[in-house]
Copies of this chain bind each other. A is one copy, B any other.
Amino acid sequence: MDKFNRRDFLRKASVAAAAGGASLLWACGGAEEESGGAPAVQTRKKYEWKMVTTWPPGFPVLGEGAELFAKWVDEMSAGRLKIRVYGGGELVPALEAFDAVRQGVVQMGHAASYYWAGKTPASQFFASVPFGMNAQQMNAWILCAGGLELWRELYADFNLVPFPCGNTGVQMGGWFKRRIDAISDLQGLKMRIPGLGGKVIEKAGGSAVLSAGGEIFTNLERGVIDATEWIGPYHDYLMGFPKVADYYYYPGWHEPGTILELFVNKSAYEQLPADLQAIIFAASQRSNVWMLSEFEAKNAVYLQKIKAEYKTEILEFPAGVLRAFREYSAEVIEEVTAGDAMSKKVYKSFAKFQKEIGEWADITERAYYSRLSV
């Protein structure tokens, strides 16, 4: 696996093209390439597949996790299924990954499903929802409480088969150039925050601005924006945000546990022999655990680096601000589900499970973090 070169981080980001979609997106421009669809079935046949991602090549954790997935599939299949991984823009622009895979231009993609909200709004519930579930709860819903079946139903209409394949964990709330002491401080605030979270900021009187990954630093430095969310300390440090904003807020109410997705062209997938299909599922779950673990381990280290190297103030959003965000989030979700039957169906399952597991978490995980952990 090619290691991401940190010195290249901002240089690569700076060639990124216009972003849309949502939080983690790096939308990179690039040449399209046409290639064949899935190979026909044949015993012991070898497959050479392509995976497009929405991350820059070798992007820490996310791009690395996609490369590891391909490496593990290669090892398990003894070379029968080779997957070449492309960064966003290398083969098709990042935001065209969904269409490239559904049309069979390539066989696989790695992204976060809220990028496809414009194509099918229900996709957002399989990535992250403001005040929604965290990583452990999302896995339980997806794998053991009907979430994956709904996700497959949704994606089948696009000739895709989805798998959970990574999670960021609870994100940070973002970098601000001024303190947020009350919800009124959001009035007129220009924040880079896409997706449902952006709609919440707008309800609070701010402006949700979209910027490509490579433009955020400069926009924040020059005051084109007053704030930005991104992921957490590891990536935020590499992006240089602590150099240009002093207030780092938590928790990431807008993305409490974002699932990264693997999606496979359904026709290509169905032509694979059963052993390679099972290998794809297991590799996605090894990546699923690895990415969350790597985010957790690296964020812990980089939080300390930020504290040691910068005068960043790390602050909790005031209770009144979070209360207002929660109310606006409920309105935003109501608007999405009112306008789309599949969103309504998916969110019904999501919300029912969130309530059930919330009561259980209250006496276990919540109690762990408030009473047992160091």
Contacts and interface: CB of A to CB of B under 8 A. Distances in A.
Interface stretch (A24-32, A45-53, A203-211, A353-361): A353-361
Given A144-B296, A275-B77, A300-B360, A316 B367 contact: yes
Interface string A120-164: 000000000001011111011111110000000000000000000
13 contacts: A72-B278, A72-B281, A131-B373, A139-B296, A140-B294, A140-B300, A143-B293, A233-B360, A288-B289, A289-B289, A314-B363, A358-B374, A366-B369
A76 interface: yes
Q: How large is the interface on A (under 10, 10 to 19, 20 to 34, 35 or more residues)?
A: 35 or more
Interface stretch (A33-41, A111-119, A188-196, A248-256): A248-256
A308 interface: no
A281 B72 CA distance: 9
Contacts of A275: 75-78
Contacts of A322: 371-372
A290 B306 CA distance: 35
A140 B291 CA distance: 9
B368 A256 contact: yes
A139 B297 CA distance: 10
A134 B303 contact: no
A172 interface: yes
Given A72-B281, A134-B368, 16 more contacts: A72-B278, A78-B273, A78-B274, A131-B374, A134-B365, A136-B293, A141-B297, A143-B289, A145-B297, A170-B364, A251-B371, A256-B368, A281-B286, A361-B373, A362-B373, A369-B370
A356 to B, nearest CB: 4
A294 B143 CA distance: 8
A241 to B, nearest CB: 16
B363 A250 contact: yes
- Tell me the number of copies of this protein: 2
B357 A75 contact: no
Contacts of A343: none
Interface of A: 72, 75-78, 131, 133-137, 139-145, 169-172, 232-233, 250-253, 256-257, 273-275, 278-279, 281-283, 285-286, 288-290, 292-294, 296-301, 303-304, 314, 316-317, 319, 322, 353-374
A267 B72 CA distance: 22
A182 to B, nearest CB: 16
A338 to B, nearest CB: 21
Contacts of A292: 136, 139-140
B170 A282 contact: no
A238 B84 CA distance: 48
A372 B253 CA distance: 6
A289 B303 CA distance: 26
B299 A360 contact: yes
Contacts of A72: 278, 281-282
